[in-house]
Amino acid sequence: MRAFSYERAASVEAAAQAAAHNPESRFIAGGTNLLDLMKLEIEKPSHLIDVNGLGLDTIESTAEGGLRIGAVVRNTDLAAHETVRRDYGVLARALVAGASGQLRNRATTAGNLLQRTRCPYFYDPNQPCNKRLPGSGCSAIGGITRQLGVVGTSEACIATHPSDMAVAMRALDAIVDTVKPGGERRSIPIADFHRLPGNTPHIETELQQGEIITSVVLPPPIGGKHIYRKVRDRASYAFALVSVAAVIQPDGTGKVAVGGVAHKPWRIEAAESELPNGARATVSILMADARPTDQNSFKVDLLERTLGAVLAGARG
């Protein structure tokens, strides 16, 4: 870990300004991902700006009947919130499927969205990795890829986004609200928030330097059955091989986003029209462009079967 300086910003705007001034700075929220990466010098900020204590820790209803979730609301608190449990069950279930109780007590909404990939080569600074060191090459391709992406991948990177929470938010059409260094606010639909790797896998989101997430807004509740199904090698405390976040209506229509397969929570709205026709039809559209490796081609099959379980659960 490099030596770094630390400040507690006085306001959201001041935090954004401070970050814009120093391109080597990072915001720190729960620190559960950033600090681990700093210890390995995968992240090397010279300056940390603490975004706790800026009043971003509340959950409130919006005028439209939706829910505004502050950027530093802890994953534990969000999962336990009454409205979330009642109206956005898929989100509560996704949250508690992630990490461990201790981590969720620290982890925040914004930090969870921005957590970085778990590709093992990304974590080993001896190995080439385009995401860690742009242009150095991708050592995962041709290596150990069982956990890695099957769709939306590129020649430069086949990593996945590891979040569970984000997959549920994608199914719920969440909006990410931010403040830019100049004070300008913007609202980014979660569909556009994370990027595919392309030739620039080190650029993971639409955020600009210094742009700070203030909240995530959920649209008004849409009813339906809320299911989050995470499939993994052990019963807890592991990242998803695949996961499915679904809101299924009594007539069999619904919304579905999937995790563990791509550089971002994966959803193709067009696939959802096939939901009444079952998992196979839906997944054949979701995974139409899949380019799995020998080691992870099982994920396509697994996804179909997992969605099958979800749809059966929604009926039952």
Instruction: Name the residue whose CB lies closest to ligand FAD.
Output: 111
Among other proteins, ligand FAD, ligand SF4, none, residue 158 binds (CB under 5-8 Å by kind)? ligand SF4
Which C-beta is closer to other proteins: that of 18 or that of 303? 303
Q: Which stretch binds ligand FAD (CB under 6 A): 20-28, 127-135, 185-193, 294-302?
A: 20-28
Among 138, 167, 213, 290, binds ligand SF4 (CB under 6 A): 138
The answer to the question of residue 121 lying near ligand SF4 (CB under 6 A) is: yes
Closest CA to 30 of 97, 76, 81: 76
Q: Please tell me whether residue 186 binds ligand FAD under the rule CB under 6 A.
A: no
Of 225-264, binders to ligand FAD (CB under 6 A) are 239
Between 235 and 316, name the residue whose CB sits nearer to ligand FAD. Answer: 235
Residue linked to tokens 């959802």: 272
Instruction: Indicate which single residue of 29, 38, 172, 279 sits in contact with ligand FAD (rule: CB under 6 A).
Output: 29
Interaction residues for ligand FAD, span 105-164 (CB under 6 A): 106-108, 110-112, 114-115, 162-164
- Of the ranges 44-52, 99-107, 135-143, 248-256, which one interacts with ligand SF4 (CB under 6 A)? 135-143
Binder of residue 304, out of other proteins, ligand SF4, ligand FAD, none (CB less than 5 to 8 A by kind): other proteins
Q: From other proteins, ligand FAD, ligand SF4, none, which one binds at residue 201 (CB under 5 to 8 Å depending on kind)?
A: ligand SF4
Q: In the bound complex, what is the minimum distance in angstroms from residue 123's beta carbon to ligand FAD? A: 11
Residue from 58, 100, 93 nearest 79 by CA: 93
Q: Looking at residues 158 to 187 of the shown chain, list those that interact with ligand SF4 (rule: CB under 6 A).
A: 158-159
What is the C-alpha separation between 310 and 316, in angstroms, rounded? 10
Q: Where on the chain is the footprint of other proteins (CB under 8 A)?
A: 1-3, 39-41, 118, 120-121, 123-127, 139, 142-144, 146, 231-239, 241, 278-280, 298, 301-302, 304-309, 312
Alpha-carbon dihedral 80, 85, 87, 88, rounded to 10 degrees: 80
For binding to ligand SF4 (CB under 6 A), which residues are involved?
A: 117, 119, 121-122, 129-131, 138-140, 148, 157-159, 201
